[in-house]
Amino acid sequence: MSNRHGIDPDAESKRILGYSRWWQIVAAAAMMALVSPYQYVWSSLEGPLAVELDTSLSALGFVFTAYVVIMALVQFPAGWWRDRYGPRAVTLVAGVLAGGGYVGLAFATELWHVYAVYAVGAVGVGMVYTVAVNTAVKWFPDKRGLTTGIGTMAFAAGSAAFVPFIRYMIADGAFATGLWSMGALIGVGIVVGTVVLKDPPHGWDRGAARDSSGGETDGASGDGDDGDDTNGDGDANGDPGVDPTVGRVQYTWREMVRTWQFWAMYFMFFAVSAAGLMITARAILYAEDSGLTAGMATLAATILPLGSAGGRLVLGALSDRLDRERITAVSFLACGVGTIAVVGFAELGSGVGYVVAVAIAVFFWSSQFSLFPSLVADYYGSKHSSANYSLVYSGKMWGGVFGGGVVGWLIGVIGWDAAFLLGGGLAVAAGLVGFLLRSPE
């Protein structure tokens, strides 16, 4: 189906690539699934690592926090590089780092080794994440919500295959073998994926990818635009420029941070991440503290990755058809209401209600990972989307700090219920701010 510029994105992308653009999403999703163990398998590794290293769980307690911070921070330089030179070089390096992190973990003999190799892996994960998400943004301007949802769903659900494998290897006394095997698979899989990845020419979906003879004129990969100058993208005063070939404002990151919409989205990303990561980290402990059965606590933990994966895909796809700003606002309000409901059902001792509330909160929290990449591209263009979205995504760092260390401290000071109510309030605030969003143009 042709877009409003008279271009059929499927046909035009096939002309450019020589094959369907959906293979870009297959490769991106596969790489996201491969790096998912760093975030979603850690809880299975923490105990065995403590035994192997003869150390305490508290000594390993900041490994995951360091991972979240590093993974978020590295996305900006990686995204800037990708927007300028294309995805292949940065993804190749990412494969070496992400695979090497798990291989190194297999041979760790000291506590600092764990921190070091997990940090190396986190750099690789951040690089893969920004490449994968923005591959969807660049190749699917007509289906941004759906395709970013597929990629981020793979990141949430990919660990489903890794968890039983590593648990089997631990039970079989082959913990180290399981780790380096996973590292080898991660590294090789990502390196193979780099063969498929390619960025489209800028403006390809608006007819700007051809000159009068039908050839490509504006390659996004290696076009020499560093994303910070104003050659064709802004005037000498730093105002965002309109690409004359496509009539579309393409904001650089410097121009984006001068808009109030960026700061609104940054707050929203922090606030809803704070609630979501709080639930992800402490759903089981809160259930146990509230006197719920072990079965209900386990069910709540099982629901977490399923709800997280589903929300990214369903709400991302829905945002392609309906008003994306309203979907974002309503989703975050629902996350806040679900989080507050978790407290209510915990107080009532209702295990079923607790599990349902956790599922609702996580389902709507996770939508941010498909909605925000799409909003950033909608507002600021796709040319610099990797660098631009990485800055918004860095709000997750502060959400991780709140959902991890700050909530742990608050529980000791004001109790479980008040701490979770505060997290729910933050998500509600994010939803209310969402109703103010509109394009900066």
pLDDT value, residue 241: 47
Convert the pLDDT of each residue in 399-410 to its tens digit.
878 877 788 788
pLDDT value, residue 235: 40
Sign, CA torsion 34/35/36/40? positive
The two three-digit tokens of residue 205, written as one number: 């979906």
pLDDT value, residue 206: 67
pLDDT value, residue 263: 96
Asked if 349 contacts 291 with a C-beta cutoff of 8 angstroms, the reply is yes
pLDDT band, residue 344 (cuts 50/70/90): very high
Q: What fold does the segment set 9-193 form as a domain?
A: Growth Hormone; Chain: A; (1.20.1250)
Asked if 288 contacts 120 with a C-beta cutoff of 8 angstroms, the reply is no
* Cα gap 106→186, rounded to integer Å: 14
pLDDT value, residue 36: 87
Residue of higher predicted confidence among 173 and 214: 173
pLDDT value, residue 205: 64
Q: Give the lowest-confidence range in 25-39, 53-67, 242-256, 366-380.
A: 242-256
pLDDT value, residue 222: 40
pLDDT value, residue 160: 72
The CATH homologous superfamily of the domain defined by 253-434: MFS general substrate transporter like domains (1.20.1250.20)
Convert the pLDDT of each residue in 287-315 to its tens digit.
888 888 878 877 877 777 778 888 888 88
pLDDT above 80 (res 40) = no
Nearest to 387 by CA among 35, 140, 114, 137: 137
Asked if 131 contacts 75 with a C-beta cutoff of 8 angstroms, the reply is no
Strands (E), 4-144: none
Q: How far is CA 110 from CA 16, 52, 104, 113, 282, in A?
A: 50, 10, 12, 5, 27
Which of the given ranges, 158-172, 218-232, 303-317, 426-440, has the highest pLDDT on average?
426-440
Asked if 91 contacts 127 with a C-beta cutoff of 8 angstroms, the reply is yes
* Cα gap 153→253, rounded to integer Å: 26
pLDDT value, residue 248: 54
Is it true that 9-193 and 253-434 share their CATH fold? yes
pLDDT value, residue 223: 38
pLDDT value, residue 1: 56
Please give the share of the chain, as a percent, with pLDDT higher than 70: 88
Q: Which residue has the tokens 């496509």?
A: 246
pLDDT value, residue 174: 84
Please give the share of the chain, as a percent, with pLDDT higher than 90: 33
pLDDT band, residue 225 (cuts 50/70/90): very low
pLDDT above 90 (res 260) = yes
Convert the pLDDT of each residue in 85-119 to its tens digit.
888 899 999 999 999 999 999 999 999 999 999 99
Residue of higher predicted confidence among 339 and 148: 339
Nearest to 367 by CA among 309, 283, 426: 309
pLDDT value, residue 7: 66
Look over the chain and give the mean of its residue pLDDT values, rounded to a whole number: 82
pTM of the model: 0.75
* Cα gap 159→32, rounded to integer Å: 10
pLDDT above 60 (res 26) = yes
Specify the 3-state DSSP secondary structure of 322: coil
Q: Give the lowest-confidence range in 119-123, 128-132, 161-165, 230-234.
A: 230-234
CB burial readout 38-54, b (16+ within 10 A) else e: bbbbbebbeebbbeebe
28-56 mean pLDDT: 85
Ordered by start, the domain boundaries in the chain are 9-193, 253-434
* Cα gap 187→100, rounded to integer Å: 7
- What is the DSSP track for 346-372? HHHT-HHHHHHHHHHHHHHHTTHHHHH
pLDDT band, residue 360 (cuts 50/70/90): very high
* Cα gap 239→415, rounded to integer Å: 49
DSSP 8-state assignment for residue 239: P
Residue of higher predicted confidence among 211 and 105: 105
* Cα gap 216→107, rounded to integer Å: 49
Residue of higher predicted confidence among 333 and 317: 333
Q: How many CB atoms lie within 10 A of CB 268?
A: 28
